[in-house]
Structure 1
Amino acid sequence: MTLNNPYQVYQNNSVNTASGGELTLMLYNGCIKFIKQAMKEMNETNYEAKNTNIQKAQNIIQELMLTLDKEVEISKQMLPLYDYIQFQLKEGNVKNEVDKLEEALRLVTEFRDTWKEVILKTRKAQPAKGVHA
């Protein structure tokens, strides 16, 4: 498959060159985007598109769950929160309740914002590349 669209090439390069932390941030951002789109589709009674977007968000949460390092204490605390988000997404989808999606969106947004702070602090703590002590 040839990539002729410059934006698509840029996107692929962004993913291929991103650090693990940046990839996690991309996952959170994608999940937020799909939940918001599902809420929009739900309000427009476009239930097929709503379902598709919720499934995409659920797949992202599943991926985040699978990549947790079970040896790290914070991972043991995150797993039940991810389970809760999955439950809210499922309930919102099945019952067409936007408040369930709003709750999932709130949590994912909090996680994303926290993760972004971690990345920024980590970058500040690292010495500049090419500078030797």
Structure 2
Amino acid sequence: MPGTYTPVGYLPVLIFLIIALGFGLGSLLFGYILRPRRPYDEKLSTYESGMVPEGEPRQKFSVQYYIIAILFVVFDVEAVFLYPWAVSFDKIGLYAFIEMILFIVVLVIGYIYAWRKDAFLWD
């Protein structure tokens, strides 16, 4: 009948959402009530280490730092793709094997390119 539809399928989702929200807010409240409150000058300073900050807070990093970070992420993520392939190696057949060989060849070409551009040198 029109107008009498109740989305019963969403009830578990609503219950889970209420429990998750209650757990999150309860944890924050519990921490707020039990935490120690003893502020002092060093603790309220910019850094909790107690050391006085030196220099400008916005210092410039070398572009090389970012290039090495990006290369690390790229090669690390690419290596993660090898694990599912290795697990299902006996079931995937020759086509997937050739695709993975091409994938590794592209990775090696990228590695050689980065090496020739001195992207791995840390100054």
Shared fold (TM-score greater than 0.5)? no
| TM-score bracket for this pair, using the shorter chain length | 0.3 to 0.5
More helix by share: 1
Instruction: From the CA coordinates, give the structure whose radius of gyration is larger.
Output: 2
Larger RCO (CA under 8 A, 6+ residues apart): 1
